[in-house]
Structure 1
Amino acid sequence: MPQDTAPPVAPAPAPDQRLHPWSWLFVMLMQLRQFLLPLVALLVFGGRGDRDEMWTYLTTLIVIAVLVAISILQYLTYRYHIGHDAISVRSGIIARNRREIPFARIHNVVVHQNPLHRLFGVAELRLESAGGHRPEAEMRVLKLSQALALEQLVRQRGQQPPPLPDAGDAAAVLHSAPSTAAPAAVLLQLGNRDVLRIGLLSNRGWVAVLAAWGASYQFFPRGYVSDAVEHHGREVFGYASHLHPATWVWVVAAVFTVGGFWLLLRLLSVVLALLRYHGFQLTEQERRLTVTSGLLTRMRTSVARRRIQAWTLRETALQRWVGRRQLRIDNAAGVGSDDDGRDLRELAPLATPAACDDLLRHLLPRLQWPPPRWQGVARRGWWRLCLPALVVVPLLSVGAVFEVGPWGAVLLAWLPWSAFRASREIARMGYYLDGDYVAVRGGWWTRWWRLAELDKLQSLRLSRSPLDRMLGTASVWLDTAGAGGSIALRLRFLPESEARGVLKTLNQALARRRLR
């Protein structure tokens, strides 16, 4: 008689994972930060008598207790499960939410550590997808080893999901660093001197000045700051006028004042650059780029090379004089702003032109860079770049003459400068197109180069304004996913026949590549 065979036993499902036991504390601190100003105002201006002060303190304690309870409930109700090809996240206190996030859909992974995270040995993990305005999942907080292991898992599964013999293996990955991964190759590393140079060549100090000015209106009564500045200014100028200084003394004082403010801005820019770019390192592992930087708050963000949509080289006049430029990218993950560090945008915040070119050639092996020949535009259309100034400046000058007299005509001095700048800019405008990528360049005082692979183009558009129709010209707009920044991938001021030829060539190239 045939022997009975036992049916195969299905592997046990992987258990749901919880956040770090201290995650409720970080959630509470994040929520408390949002209520910090109202609580301070309540404590300072809440009451004057003994009874009022008692109710003020009691209200503050109730608010803090509610925040603690909400944070603990969020910790108790947050679960995530690592499957074969996706991460499942369950959250919510009253309304229960469940999100399935396929590994292939995760475009960007951010590991964030502020000083408190580093003190507790934990990190915040954000999983971001294409075009989203918010992360797909925010895990506050995980052990640092777990966060890095989960980042490694996303990197591996995002390339090609491997079969799992046991569902519990996915959870085990979070508790042991992978040993089969190839070591990361360092593509760019910035030292303290490079970070110092970033601060000296940038104007980030204005960010701190404007932030301090805005904060003063939050902490002080309305008009207090402006009245104080006006009052002390009158005292200083009144005291100085009684001394009857010579004209050259006023000039020297003005120079020292402007110079001191400029030095203050440079100092603030250097401090902000150190906070953001200290220890900057760009690495590559398994065709995924990772940037790690930050002095107090460490940020580790990564993106797959295939997710990069466009590349931008940019150099200001100051950067060009010291032989430096920056390399930025647009990726398909649209989360975060340009300056918050959450979205990987800067591959090289500041590097030599040769280093930036080497990075481009390494990451885009088929790229011929710099292009062998740029296709320029007709220089006779230079006046179109300064057309707003040609219309607005004379009108402003006429109004200024009526207000202040002949000195108002000084505004007309802007027209020669605008015309000179426009002529220089149109001399640098150009584009390059081959079977693999398209590149555009422009700018004069601040120069830029922008390029994209033909595979990454999402749409093509031929644009003709009324002025274009009068002059027989057109512009070709090239759109990619996640496009951002102030520089558009656009071919401007082309003859109509040339623009339509470029559009036809791009359409044919895209059609051929889609059939492969």
Structure 2
Amino acid sequence: MAERRLHPWSWLFVLLQQLKQFIVPLGALLIFGGRTQRDEPWQHLASLIVIAVLVASSILRYLTFRYRIGRDGLTLRSGWLNRSVREIPFARIHNVGVHQSLLHRAFGVAEVRLESAGGSKPEAEMRVLRLDQALALEQQVRHRGSAPQAAEAPTAAASDTLLALPPAEVVRLGLISNRGMLAVAAAFGATYQFFPERVVANFIEFYGRQAYGYASALHLGWMAGVLTAVVLAGLALIALRLLSVLLALLQYHGFRLSEHERRLTVERGLLTRLRTSVSRRRIQSWTLEEGVLHRLFGRRSLRVDTAVAERQDQGARALKELAPLATPAACDALVHHVLPGVQWPPSQWQSIPARHWWRLSLPALCLIPMLTAAAVWRWGDWGWLPLLWLPWSALKSYREMRRMGWSMDQDLIAVRGGWWSRWWRFAELGKLQALRLERSPLDRRFGTASLLLDTAGATSAAPALRIPYLPLAQAQALHAALCHAMARQRLRW
């Protein structure tokens, strides 16, 4: 196939991406440069030179970038003075991400990211292609070098829909999640980054005094003051939940999980549309999560870890969230579909000795007394209040230990934990990358050990695939059985 250029407007999208990186220094030049050279005709000359250089580099990148779709891979040519040629075999590409912002959709184009296992960056980023060319490239990667497909979007009949979230389900997702709180925390962090701490403190102090003075002028009794505080706190919680619903609608509107030729594809987004896909065999581990609000609505979430480049953008998160919200039956059905023949949920869970529950409370037992001593020294009798956390911590630790368990059969290893917020994590034996037997000083004192299992693509955001506090003999026997099972699975694969 002949070499192709990117879309003629691709230089504009590259320019906008570069301007995002230089927006702070450009703003400083425009603001502070205007103060020192207010009446000079060349006062913004430096800013214009920087913008001109960025425009020229964006156009030059468009003129020098070529790509060619071969039978077995993709060829990329770029550069003017320093020229480079990259050959990317289709077999190396594990995920194709097709992203469309509002501006992309207005021009009928899309940004394409080709990702491989490992690493922190995509194999290639193509800004931007016509939408039909982007989808044709995605089809070509799926077919691993077969004859090019017609350059048109796949129809609903070409793929099977495994899960779709209607608007009502997206609203439930917003009510359950804490995205509003995270957005407010991020806004506060950005405020402290962009404004001096003194300015923020003075702002809070000024309006705090205004609010306190207004409340004092009303001459409210203590009961009315308490009710007012409760009402304001309730209104704040409602506002945060509404913000969470709005963010969920922006991110998950039109969510659709589909399968075509053993590749799972996730599409979602209201303003920015994200489309990303991965082969089923690239899924390394699974995580089911169920919080208190999940149980209230009768829902769970299902996430996976995949053997692709680890990034923190929306496309990477979309790929991991196979079911942002679904009923327990729907989550189990997804597992059965992707892992046919696997027993899930396990017929029997092996328990962890509950007598070690106090070890889960050790952080609180060490930290709370020190905080209490400092609080009593600073505020007197009110400083004893932190001790009220200890009974709750003990109850939570005991109930969590009672619920801990693990299960292993010829195909799957699974662990479960949590009580207030519950989770299940499992992986195929053939996908395990490492197995470690750990013993802390407390383990040696009480004759226990912990097993830590690792898979490719595992992140710290998910619960660890770990079996803690097992009796030493049982841990050693399980370690030997897992080593044998892993070797047998790899030979079979």
Please confirm whether the aligned pair reaches a TM-score higher than 0.5, indicating the same fold.
yes
Q: Could you say which residue in structure 2 is the equivalent of 1:482? A: 457
Q: Could you say which residue in structure 1 is the equivalent of 2:408? A: 433
Q: Which moved more, 1:305-314 or 1:35-44?
A: 35-44
468, 471, 492: which one aligns with 1:492: 468
Matches of 1:22 and 1:258, distance apart in 2: 49
> Residue 156 in 1 paired to residue 143 in 2?
yes
Report deviation, 1:207.
2.8
Q: Could you say which residue in structure 2 is the equivalent of 1:70? A: 57
Q: Could you say which residue in structure 2 is the equivalent of 1:11? A: none
Q: Counterparts in 2 of 1:286-305, with a 5 A limit?
A: 286-305=261-280
Report deviation, 1:338.
7.0
Matches of 1:343 and 1:97, distance apart in 2: 32
478, 488, 491: which one aligns with 1:512: 488
Q: Could you say which residue in structure 1 is the equivalent of 2:294? A: 319
Alpha-carbon displacement from aligned partner over 1:246-301 (angstroms, at most 9, x marks no partner): 11221122112211211221111111101100000000010000000000000001
Task: From the CA coordinates, give the structure whose radius of gyration is larger.
Answer: 1
Report deviation, 1:19.
0.7
Q: Which moved more, 1:97-106 or 1:501-510?
A: 97-106
Report deviation, 1:75.
0.8
Q: Could you say which residue in structure 2 is the equivalent of 1:396? A: 371
Distance 1:211 1:416, change over 3 A: closer
Distance 1:241 1:128, change over 3 A: same
Distance 1:478 1:240, change over 3 A: same
SS of 2:126's partner is strand
> Residue 265 in 1 paired to residue 252 in 2?
no
Matches of 1:177 and 1:388, distance apart in 2: 54
Alpha-carbon displacement from aligned partner over 1:168-195 (angstroms, at most 9, x marks no partner): x65xx4746689x972000000011011
Alpha-carbon displacement from aligned partner over 1:339-384 (angstroms, at most 9, x marks no partner): 5656611000001111101111111112111110000010001001
Unaligned runs of 5+ in 2: none
Report deviation, 1:52.
5.2
Distance 1:473 1:218, change over 3 A: closer
Matches of 1:260 and 1:40, distance apart in 2: 37
Unaligned runs of 5+ in 1: 1-13, 163-168
Distance 1:415 1:76, change over 3 A: same
SS of 2:343's partner is coil
Alpha-carbon displacement from aligned partner over 1:300-331 (angstroms, at most 9, x marks no partner): 01000000000000011111111011000000
Q: Counterparts in 2 of 1:222-237, with a 5 A limit?
A: 223-237=198-212
Q: Which amino acid aligns with 2:400?
A: E
Matches of 1:30 and 1:306, distance apart in 2: 34
Q: Could you say which residue in structure 2 is the equivalent of 1:368? A: 343
Alpha-carbon displacement from aligned partner over 1:88-141 (angstroms, at most 9, x marks no partner): 222234332322221111111100000000000000000011112000000000
Kept in 2, the 8 Å contact 1:337–1:343? The answer is no
Report deviation, 1:508.
1.1
Tell me the C-alpha RMSD between the 2 structures. Answer: 2.0
Kept in 1, the 8 Å contact 2:122–2:309? The answer is no
> Residue 328 in 1 paired to residue 315 in 2?
no
Q: Could you say which residue in structure 1 is the equivalent of 2:447? A: 472
Alpha-carbon displacement from aligned partner over 1:18-38 (angstroms, at most 9, x marks no partner): 111110010001111222233
Q: Could you say which residue in structure 2 is the equivalent of 1:6? A: none
SS of 1:94's partner is coil
Distance 1:412 1:176, change over 3 A: closer
Q: Could you say which residue in structure 2 is the equivalent of 1:4? A: none
SS of 1:356's partner is helix
186, 198, 201: which one aligns with 2:161: 186
SS of 1:313's partner is strand
SS of 2:341's partner is coil
Report deviation, 1:337.
1.7
Distance 1:216 1:394, change over 3 A: closer
Q: Counterparts in 2 of 1:246-285, with a 5 A limit?
A: 246-285=221-260
Matches of 2:40 and 2:258, distance apart in 1: 56
Report deviation, 1:334.
2.7
Q: Counterparts in 2 of 1:104-115, with a 5 A limit?
A: 104-115=91-102
Q: Which moved more, 1:224-233 or 1:275-284?
A: 224-233
Matches of 2:102 and 2:186, distance apart in 1: 21
102, 113, 124: which one aligns with 1:137: 124
Distance 1:227 1:465, change over 3 A: same
> Residue 82 in 1 paired to residue 82 in 2?
no
- Percent of residue pairs identical: 60
Distance 1:290 1:53, change over 3 A: farther
Q: Could you say which residue in structure 1 is the equivalent of 2:479? A: 503
User: When the two structures are superposed, what TM-score results if normalisation uses the length of structure 1?
Assistant: 0.91
Matches of 2:372 and 2:71, distance apart in 1: 69
Q: Could you say which residue in structure 1 is the equivalent of 2:358? A: 383
199, 213, 238: which one aligns with 1:238: 213
Kept in 2, the 8 Å contact 1:125–1:142? The answer is yes
Q: Which amino acid aligns with 1:136?
A: E
Alpha-carbon displacement from aligned partner over 1:435-475 (angstroms, at most 9, x marks no partner): 10101100001100001001111111111111111111111
SS of 2:44's partner is helix
Q: Which amino acid aligns with 2:475?
A: A
Matches of 1:341 and 1:251, distance apart in 2: 45
